[in-house]
């Protein structure tokens, strides 16, 4: 472990040979952090590092930064670095650049590798096929433990994760998995079919990456094989990539709930932030105008009882908050697969009861407050009743909005918040100001 400044100092002041000797003690993620924060000439630093290490640094970089790093090198070195990169990371790099540049890079690769990468690029980037790597250890059914050990001595260093060996038949159909520890504790003459686990769980190449993530979370896997419709083994997905995917999905959920665009970065440019946020604020403006239009229907009532305007923020604020509570429970339940067909009715009924009970309690508090503030018990009744009704509406819309969006195949995190607050604002004002209009003679 080095600190960033030490890393930079070491790399700047050491010869290529000195660096080669000590580089394996430094994690590529630390070098990436160090050069990202370093404001000097990073090219001359990177040129001192060996090709396989550069490939590891590019592996660590964000998808949209990978190509920028690669393009710092001459075409000749690029070719060498690419041949050291793992297939899944190379595909992530190629998926984020123009067609022209992509073609250029693929032309530089040797034929076999180019074929493999083209095949991987054929899978949608957010599916099992799009995130898998093709560097796995496969052994044939008829091999013994002794033959497997010989094979391992040759192949293990290039595999993504050498702890599991996949057993395939002549047609490359996945037959089972052997753990490395079982290889070690078996005699050389044992057949691999004797020690393999036939119940190996694989994912189809088309499976959504978030679903893959849930399988890893549920079963605690370190790696999972990916197969096609015929059971042919295509690649593996490793837990470190899954963690990255789950983190991205989490961030996406949070951002979408808040109305932030996907690409926005904390230390990004002002223009980037404007492009990320302004569209959401404009959508929100439309919904705010709907709330305003509701209020405008009752302007003559407000002009006669101006205290109504004072209590408007309470009705809208409380309804929005209660709606967001339900909404968040439901969105999280959908994301984690906890909201099922069996329990959906029970969850909805629970939400309605919660809305009613919170509505009664908060309605009574607000009614008392309204009575004391304005000095009229009917005013207390109006605000209390509006609060009660709005809290029930908030839990019902907090349930149905994300569930409906999900059914329409729209990410519920994306637009639910806007819809729910629109419903609670519009109906909240409608209940409050409508009741006041009906009971106006008792209020003046």
Letters for 138-177 (x = contact with a second copy by CB under 8 A, - = none) are -----------x--xx--x-----xx--------------
Q: Does residue number 341 form part of the binding site for a second copy (CB under 8 A)?
A: no
| Minimum CB distance to a second copy smaller for 190 or for 284 | 284
- Collect all residues with Cβ–Cβ distance below 8 Å to 309 and sequence separation of at least 6: 302
Provide the phi-psi class of 220: left if phi over 0, else alpha when psi is between -120 and 50, else beta. left
Q: Which of 6, 37, 103, 110 binds a second copy (CB under 8 A)?
A: 37
Q: Which of 112, 313, 341, 407 binds a second copy (CB under 8 A)?
A: 313
Position 204 contacts a second copy (CB under 8 A): no
Pick 98 or 342: Cβ nearer a second copy = 342
Q: What is the DSSP string of 378-444?
A: HHHHHHHHHHHHHHHHHHHHHHHHHHHHHHTT--HHHHHHHHHHHHHHHHHHHHHHHHHHHTHHHH-
Cβ burial of 384 (10 Å; 0-12, 13-18, 19+) is: buried
| Angle at CA of residue 406, ends 386 and 207, nearest 5° | 155
Closest CA to 67 of 112, 33, 98, 34: 98
Per-residue x/- mask for a second copy, residues 41 to 80, rule CB under 8 A? Answer: ----------------------------------------
DSSP assignment of 206-238: TSBHHHHHHHHHHHT-SEEEEE-TT-BEEEEEE
Contact pattern for a second copy over residues 349 through 388, marking x by CB under 8 A: -xx-xx--xx--xx--xx--x-------------------
Give the total of residues touching a second copy (CB under 8 A): 111
Q: Where does residue 338 fall: left (phi above 0), alpha (psi -120 to 50 degrees), or beta otherwise?
A: alpha
Interface characters, 219-258, with a second copy (x: CB under 8 A): xxxx----------------xx-xxx-xx--xx-xxx-xx
> Least distance to a second copy from the beta carbon of 60, Å?
8
CB of 134 to a second copy, least distance (A): 18
Q: Which 267-286 residues touch a second copy, going by CB under 8 A?
A: 267-270, 273-274, 277-278, 280-282, 284-285
| CB-nearer residue toward a second copy: 105 or 253 | 253
Nearer to a second copy, 105 or 242 (CB): 242
Helix (H) or strand (E) holding 179: strand 174-179
> Under the criterion CB under 8 A, does residue 20 sit at the interface with a second copy?
no
Q: Does 325 bind a second copy (CB under 8 A)?
A: yes
206 burial (CB, 10 Å; 0-12 / 13-18 / 19+) is middle
């Amino acid at each position: 472990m080095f600190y960033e400044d030490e890393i930079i100092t070491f790399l700047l002041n050491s010869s290529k040979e000195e660096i080669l000797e000590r580089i394996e003690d430094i994690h590529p993620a630390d070098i990436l952090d160090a050069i990202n924060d370093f404001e000097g000439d990073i090219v001359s630093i990177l040129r001192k590092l060996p090709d396989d290490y550069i490939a590891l640094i590019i592996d660590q970089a964000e998808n949209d930064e990978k190509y920028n790093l690669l393009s710092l090198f001459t075409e000749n070195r690029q070719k060498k670095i690419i041949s050291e990169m793992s297939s899944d990371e190379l595909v992530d790099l190629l998926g984020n650049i123009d067609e022209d540049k992509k073609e250029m890079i693929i032309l530089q690769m040797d034929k076999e590798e180019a074929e493999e990468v083209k095949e991987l690029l054929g899978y949608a980037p957010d599916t099992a096929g799009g995130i898998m790597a093709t560097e796995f250890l496969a052994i044939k059914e008829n091999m013994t433990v002794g033959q497997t050990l010989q094979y391992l001595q040759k192949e293990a260093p290039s595999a993504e994760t050498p702890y599991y060996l996949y057993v395939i038949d002549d047609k490359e159909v996945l037959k089972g998995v052997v753990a490395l520890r079982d290889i070690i504790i078996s005699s050389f003459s044992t057949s691999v079919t004797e020690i393999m686990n036939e119940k190996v769980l694989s994912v189809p190449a088309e499976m959504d990456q978030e679903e893959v993530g849930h399988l890893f979370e549920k079963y605690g896997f370190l790696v999972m094989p990916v197969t096609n419709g015929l059971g042919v083994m295509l690649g593996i997905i490793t837990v470190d990539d899954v963690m990255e995917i789950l983190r991205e999905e989490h961030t996406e959920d949070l951002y979408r709930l808040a109305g932030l665009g996907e690409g926005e970065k904390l230390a990004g440019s002002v223009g980037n932030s404007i492009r990320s946020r302004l569209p959401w604020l404009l959508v929100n403006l439309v919904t705010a105008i709907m709330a305003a239009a509701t209020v405008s229907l009752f302007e003559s009532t407000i002009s006669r009882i101006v205290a109504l305007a004072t209590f408007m923020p309470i009705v809208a604020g409380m309804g929005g908050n209660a709606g967001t509570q339900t909404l968040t429970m439901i969105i999280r339940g959908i994301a984690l697969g906890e909201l099922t067909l069996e329990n959906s009715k029970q969850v909805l009924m629970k939400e309605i009861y919660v809305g009613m009970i919170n509505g009664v309690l908060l309605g009574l508090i607000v009614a008392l407050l309204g009575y004391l503030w304005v000095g009229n018990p009917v005013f207390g009744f109006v605000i209390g009743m509006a609060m009660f009704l709005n809290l029930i509406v908030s839990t019902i819309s907090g349930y149905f909005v994300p569930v409906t969006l999900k059914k329409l195949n729209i990410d519920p995190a994306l637009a639910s918040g806007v819809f729910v607050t629109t419903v609670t604002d519009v109906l909240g004002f409608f209940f409050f100001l409508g009741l006041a209009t009906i009971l106006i003679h008792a209020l003046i």
